Amino acid sequence: MDDKLKKKIIYELIKTFINAGDIALELRDKGLKKIIKDDNTPVTNGDLEVNKIITNKLKEITPEIPIVSEEVSDNKDSNNLSTFWLIDPIDGTYDYLNNKEEFTLNAGLIINKKPDIAIINAPAKKRLFYTFGINNSFELKDNIEKKLDSGINSKNKELSALVYSDNIKDEISRIKPQLELFKSTGASVIVYGETYRTVQNKIGIPLNRRPKLDQFDIKDYGKKLSQLAEFCEDKGVPLTFHHHMGTAVETEEEISKIMLTTSKEVGLLLDTGHLYFAEGNYKNLISKFGKQWNSRLKTTTDNPGIDIKGQPGSPIRSTMSGVVTTITYIRGYGTTVIIDHGGGFYTVYSHVTNIQTQVDSEVRSGDVIAYMGDSGSVNGSKLHFEVWGKGQKLDPEKWLIKK
């Protein structure tokens, strides 16, 4: 299929996508009807109506090409197709349901198992994007067509990740066009993954022969990734890291090491599917690095510390020498001991019992200051441990690694 025919197909689809977007908004204004699918995700009458409009148009202009849809598939044997239309009538159904702008209508033409044509409409934002080959990417806004920089050149036909041998300036140069494109579309984040020596799409290489994070200088990589994330943050599109099966960052331990050796500008896109493959526990990572949902207060809060479970009555020891400044009961934390270690650093021990020290007492590293209990805890006996440094709550694991 030549570019002339691809362009003709795209221009026939533009009017259909604008019309379908308008109808999606009209149906939302009238009140959506929602049902829950077998995979426990919602679908609305808006999804189904948009799916019908797009599908009918595709059948009209390319009747010989099969259609595979997020909502309805005419092809039971879709896994074996090499050329087909792939459509997601409304991506972002939760935002669509909740009267937000972040949802899109999407279609892509796969030819010989490679994407060749794509069109995306964000009707609530009145922005429409389409492409029909390399260097043929456009945005249509206010009926004005604007050509977009694809960020692709003859030497580098895909955005590579920050390989361990790269310096940060080279990677910033590579990500800059993509970052500018994302910012122009109103993207809230740029998702970033490590693909150096990945075995993805290499069918002859077993997944267990993927690169391992421990084979490389993790701290150096973390430093570079932090610098890249800081650059993205300054440009208004924060970076979020995506771990992936077949790469150097696959397991729960490897994800933790990345998060513990990078700055706060590096977000985590937690992919439970990939983590399940790696036999990891997503709850552990959410507890360490995510926001905690309090169902009673209906709020989210950061968890700046770590929770260490143990037997009731286990001794709690000071991690460093210092002076006890506070012994008090804090709602949600229970009985809490705070120790000043000088230089603006404090350690915090919560949910403890049977205090063995007192305010203004000096303690040495390893001294027993209390015993493990369940004071203020709804999850049984545990120690909640925090590190405060120069007015900020620090990640205890990261702090301990640095020490």
Nearest residue to 93 (alpha-carbon basis) of 50, 157, 127: 50
Confidence of residue 288 (pLDDT cuts 50, 70, 90): low
Euclidean distance between CA atoms 103 and 351, whole angstroms: 43
Q: Which residues contact 265 (CB under 8 A, 6 or more apart)?
A: 226, 229, 230, 232, 233, 238, 239
Q: What would the pLDDT profile of 241-269 be if each residue is shown by its tens digit?
A: 999 999 999 998 899 888 877 887 888 99
The residue assigned the tokens 């598939």 is: 73
Mean of the per-residue pLDDT values for the chain? 83
Q: Token pair 């809490």 is at which residue? A: 336
Query: Which tops the pLDDT comparison, 155 or 79?
Result: 79
CB–CB of 69/56 below 8 Å?
Answer: no
Give the torsion sign (CA, 90, 92, 94, 97). Answer: negative
Confidence of residue 362 (pLDDT cuts 50, 70, 90): very high
* Whether 15 contacts 130, CB under 8 Å: no
pLDDT bucket at 308, cuts 50 / 70 / 90: confident
Percent of the chain with pLDDT over 90: 37
Nearest to 202 by CA among 266, 252, 247, 268: 247
State the pLDDT at residue 394. Answer: 76
State the pLDDT at residue 304: 64
| pLDDT at residue 320 is higher than 80 | yes
Rounded to 5°, angle at Cα 262 from 256 and 265: 115
Q: Considering only CA atoms, give the Rg of the chain.
A: 26
Least confident of 5-14, 284-293, 334-343, 370-379: 284-293
The DSSP letter of residue 73 is B
Mean pLDDT on 213-238? 87
The residue ranking higher by pLDDT, 198 or 291, is: 198
In this predicted structure, the answer to whether residue 58 has a pLDDT above a threshold of 60 is: yes
Residue 16 CB partners (closer than 8 Å, separation 6+): 53, 54, 57
Give the pairing type, strands 352-353 and 239-242.
unpaired
Q: HSE on the CB side for 183, CA within 13 Å?
A: 15
pLDDT of residue 207: 83
344: left (phi over 0), alpha (psi -120 to 50) or beta: left
Please check the confidence at residue 9 and state whether its pLDDT lies above 90.
yes
Question: What residue ranges define each of the domains in the chain, with the CATH number in brackets?
Answer: 1-148 (3.30.540.10), 150-303 (3.20.20.150), 306-402 (2.70.70.10)
pLDDT at 330: 75
- Asked if residues 347 and 319 have their Cβ atoms less than 8 Å apart, the reply is yes
Q: How far is CA 98 from CA 31, 164, 293, in A?
A: 11, 42, 19
Angle, helices 45-61 vs 3-30, to 10°: value is: 160
Q: Is the pLDDT of residue 169 over 70?
A: yes
pLDDT at 296: 47
Q: What is the pLDDT of residues 88-122, one digit of tens each?
A: 999 988 889 888 888 999 999 999 888 889 999 99
pLDDT band at residue 343 under the 50/70/90 scheme? confident
What's the pLDDT score for residue 403?
A: 44
3 state DSSP class of 324 = strand
- What percent of the chain shows pLDDT beyond 70? 84
